[in-house]
Chain A
Amino acid sequence: MLKNIYFRATLLSISLLLISCDKDDTPVAENEMEVFTKAVIVVTNLTDDSSETYNFEVEEHDHGHDHGVLPQTQDDDDHGDHTVIELKSSSEYKFEISFLNETDPNNIIDMTLAVMEEKDEHLVHYELAGNGIEIESYSGDTIDSNGNAMNLITKWTTSTATEIDVEAYLIHQPTSKTGNTRDDFGGATDVEIEFEAHVE
């Protein structure tokens, strides 16, 4: 009797279980679709119209394991190779920044378009560790619906020779679009790159 019930119940159970588990199992690859992998800055000298392109890309690498080593420290150098942008003193330059998603080399996505489409929710900010360069929005820049420039295109005016560390941010949903330091803008950082501006 007992064996019989056990047997029947088991049989019923297994048949129930097996109903639902046969389908093609191999999952498709998921690509990061709205991720930024590259920032490009095109610097044009407004005097002679000469231009230079700077690429900021992250080579994916890990700084190794350091279990138990505390506190952790992050290298001063955020991006392996330091990018230096050479500028002349007492000159004007146009800086055009754009953002790309190159996860799939066969399908490079220009993320700048998406950023411009959501102009009210994005802002580019250059933060300088030093004085001697003035930055303002330049003609051709995207202006959001409240009249704030996005700083995708900016004019850099240099004076005397100097070397300045620069951090460039693409900020998503900034709490304010006016300010001088990164802290003034709030929001979440979507892109953060750094370079040195050498004014000679």
Chain B
Amino acid sequence: MPTAFLLLMSVGSNYGQVCSTSFEGNIFSLEQNTPLESAVVEVIGSNMIVTSTASGYFKLEGLCPNSIIKIKISHINCPDYFGEIDLNKSLFENFYLDHKVEELSEIILSDDKINDLSTSSRFFSISELEKERYSDSGLATVLEKISGVNTLSTGNKVAKPVIHGMFGSRVGIIYDGVMLENQQWGQDHAPNLDLNAFDRVRVIKGASVLKYSGSNPGGLIIIDSSPPKINDTITGKTIINSSSNGRGGSIISSITSSRESGTFLRSQFTIKKNGDLSSPNYILSNTGSNEKNISITVGKNYSKSNIKALLSYFNSEIGILKNSHVGNIKDLLRAIESDSPDVINDFSYNINYPNQDNTHYTASLDYNYFFDSDKKLSSKYSFQLNKRKEYDLRIGDFKNIPSLDLNLSTQRINLNYTWSNLFNEFNNGIFFELQENYSNPGTGVKRLIPDYLNTKFGGYFISTFKLNRMLNFGLGFRYEYSSNDVYKYYRNFRWENENYEGRLGKYVINEVLSQKLIRKKVIFNTFSSNAGFFNEFEKKYSLSVQYNYTERSPNIAEMFSGGLHHSLASIEYGDPFLKKEKTHKILFDFEKNDGKFNFRINPYFSYSDDYILAQPAGFEQTIRGAFPVWEYSPISSIFKGVDLDFVYPIKDNIKFKNSVSWVNAKNYDTKEQLINTPPLVVNNEIRIISNNFKKFNAIIEHKFVSKQKLFPNNNTMTIVIESGKKISKVVDISTPPDAYNLFNLNLNWGPYNFVSSNIYFSLSIDNVMNKAYRNYLNRLRFYSDEAGRNVLFQIKIKY
């Protein structure tokens, strides 16, 4: 909707009169030169709206002669077109809607065209150009383009999104209408998802969409594909990437075939491979990775219903920086004190230990039934199976055996009923979910995550009211019952230390060696709600205010994990008595979208009770020395922050974009800062679109990441022998690295016609200055610099 006002000027006053002039025309797609059906033609400032026919034809009637009208043409697959028509001169015109422009559309603008989320929260979307540019990278990298979204990583390829300073279970990923259920137990567990299998990426910052989930105070990432057209077409896209850093590349290809009869088939695959990446000064040994993904969707549209089935397979094998596997705290200290890794081998494509092997299977079935044009019943069954194997540096017979071997399977049924009228929309639904986690025995390492069976069910009710053309109001509730049937082995020494006998003794079902097996049902009832409004005024400003109350039940890792983190030389424990986490969050979104200078400001504030955070909790003695223990424990937390975006056209063809995000997160009681709070980030971007040579554009990006000065002190001390003397040293795991500036360049050419298809070329250089830097939010920052310069060449063919 806001795009609607980009070019809007004062509106004439003569629409109230009854006139009889008509204006007609045809709408075509610029690239394919084919008629566009169902394009919406609107006379701005009036209630006059028509849609185009199958041949792209439209007719506006009842216009006043000799007037000048302003029209807006919108279509689901194209950006909005705005034009001024002088009825004196013309009563017929053809319009060509441009796909190319869409690729350049700004993420600063939200896209209200697809109002399928049933929420009054505002969202940000990633443009197709940006999505394709980062097709060789992972999901988290693309999302960093959005203000307020950061990346928490382990090395270069394992990255998970952080929204408004929150991450992990607090950020949900919805793909094709289901919550992604993969192992998300730690910072080194990234989402197992191929972005290239989908068309659209949208981010709701700081709020859940109650239709999908009620437990994500950080935000939600929604990834899906637009429904295919109902006509006889075959469309497809192939992207070939070649990158210098890591000497890697990828091939991504998709094809969609649809028929007039309503059937369609979409298939897609991605193959990626890279060898060891390089930082500016050295090779990052064992950072190669491989990825293979494939997905197939088939569907059929009937007059009153549609059905869709999806099958997908995702596999990634990721090498973890060789020297990040440390034996004890002194090894960690040595790494911190050293400028470069102590293992630097020659470049190789081999992936040795440590590494991760993740596989994710999805099968889903959708069925939608339309009772009338305004009532719809949707049902969805989905099955997800996530297999995760982690290999460490081990010895003897266990050298080639994973030290972590987990299978997580999730089945979910969702029924949703939507009814709407011109002004209001109601959504309600119920769901039932079964999730089972199973650790393959025989790893020779105690389970990090216990075996469990989780049963979940609940329901939601969401309503959005359009009080008038300018004011939207939304209200939603969601209830979830969650029961975890957990089988957990406790080591006797831990059991005694924590005095578990009194509280957990009655759940012991078996005792072996120095361990006790308990079986316990952990039940949570959570209730989440939101309320908010969205108001446009003076046709150029909009304000959205949202209040979200989120209850999140602790995840299994927070309650029951127990194990060693090799890269942090620390032991992590869950707390089986955690309560549900309760967050109140208020978000504001103020936007100006008219004239030259456009901006968007998002301040937010949240307070959480029983916010679950891993905190230092003493030491545990092992034969390798003392290990710091981190335990999940509840605190009261306060987050406040602001995201700011603006766009300013310096000239017609040069646009300046800027975004700033800042967040501050504290323990409410101790006033101590929370660990891993993203530092201040400033993004600047200059886009140059050549006027004369239409098929070229250049983007120069600058990113400034400040030094995070607010951080908790989690340092430990250790004793080392230096120059024949025992001395005590601080292991500084707390101090964030220095600020840095990065420059990227992105050049795009195209489209060019090539055997009835369009071909595009792009050349990108990331980290142009080959800057050596370290990132506070990278868990392996103690061991090496980030990757250096990368030259990426991309060929894109659309057919």
Which residues of chain A have a CB within 8 Å of any CB of chain B?
Answer: 1-2, 5-6, 9-10, 13-14, 16-17, 20-21, 25-34, 36-39, 56-68, 70-76, 78-80, 103-105, 111, 114-115, 117-118, 121-122, 127-131, 165, 167, 171-173, 175, 181-183, 186-193
Contacts and interface: CB of A to CB of B under 8 A. Distances in A.
B618 A189 contact: no
A118 B620 CA distance: 29
A187 B712 CA distance: 29
Interface string B553-584: 00000000000000000000000000000000
B721 A16 contact: no
A72 B717 contact: yes
B624 A182 contact: no
A129 B396 contact: no
Contacts of A64: 618
16 contacts: A17-B413, A21-B453, A25-B451, A26-B517, A27-B439, A29-B510, A30-B442, A70-B713, A70-B714, A72-B616, A73-B717, A105-B513, A121-B395, A182-B721, A188-B327, A192-B624
A79 B444 CA distance: 25
Interface in B398-415: 398, 409, 411, 413, 415
A27 B434 contact: no
B446 A30 contact: yes
Contact of A31 (B393, B513, B633, B670): B513
A34 B397 contact: yes
Contacts of A39: 623
A188 B432 contact: no
Contact of A58 (B417, B451, B517, B622): B622
A18 to B, nearest CB: 9
B621 A59 contact: yes
A72 B398 CA distance: 34
B441 A175 contact: no
B615 A67 contact: yes
Contact of B451 (A2, A27, A80): A27
Given A26-B517, A72-B616, A167-B721, A183 B334 contact: yes
A34 B393 CA distance: 11
A74 B396 contact: no
A33 B398 contact: yes
Contacts of A57: 623
Given A66-B617, A118-B395, A72 B716 contact: yes
Contacts of B131: none
A78 B487 CA distance: 34
B332 to A, nearest CB: 10
Contact of B369 (A5, A16, A30, A58): A5
Contact of B343 (A10, A62, A172, A175): A175
Closest 4 CB pairs of A and B: A33-B444, A114-B396, A189-B327, A188-B327
A104 B513 contact: yes
Contacts of A56: 623
Contacts of A58: 621-623
B413 A13 contact: yes
A25 B517 CA distance: 12
A51 B487 CA distance: 48
A62 B619 contact: yes
Given A5-B377, A182-B330, 6 more contacts: A25-B487, A29-B510, A57-B623, A70-B713, A111-B396, A187-B331
A30 B444 contact: yes
Contacts of B725: 129-130
A28 B730 contact: no
A71 B715 contact: yes
B497 interface: yes
A175 B493 contact: no
A58 to B, nearest CB: 5
A71 B733 CA distance: 11
B266 interface: no
Chain B binding surface, main DSSP class: strand
A174 to B, nearest CB: 9
A119 to B, nearest CB: 11
B621 A38 contact: no
A21 B436 CA distance: 9
A132 to B, nearest CB: 10
Contacts of A76: 719, 728
Interface in B410-451: 411, 413, 415, 417, 432, 434, 436, 438-439, 441-447, 450-451
Interface in B322-349: 323, 325-331, 334, 342-343
Contact of B718 (A17, A68, A74, A80): A74
B724 A31 contact: no
B54 interface: no
Given A26-B510, A182-B721, A188-B325, A60 B395 contact: no
A25 B441 CA distance: 13
B714 A189 contact: no
B618 A66 contact: yes
Contacts of A70: 712-715
A61 B497 contact: yes
A37 B621 CA distance: 11
Contacts of A192: 327-328, 330, 623-625
B651 interface: no
Interface string B508-530: 01101111010100000000000
A128 B489 contact: no
Question: Which of B334, B451, B724 has the largest count of A CB atoms less than 10 A from its CB?
Answer: B724
A32 B394 CA distance: 12
A87 B730 CA distance: 33
A186 B783 CA distance: 13
Given A63-B619, A74-B718, A191-B624, A165 B726 contact: yes
Contacts of A171: 327
A37 B725 CA distance: 27
B491 interface: yes
Contacts of A167: 721
Given A111-B396, A128-B724, A129-B724, A29 B620 contact: no
Contacts of A14: 413, 432
Nearest to A122: B395
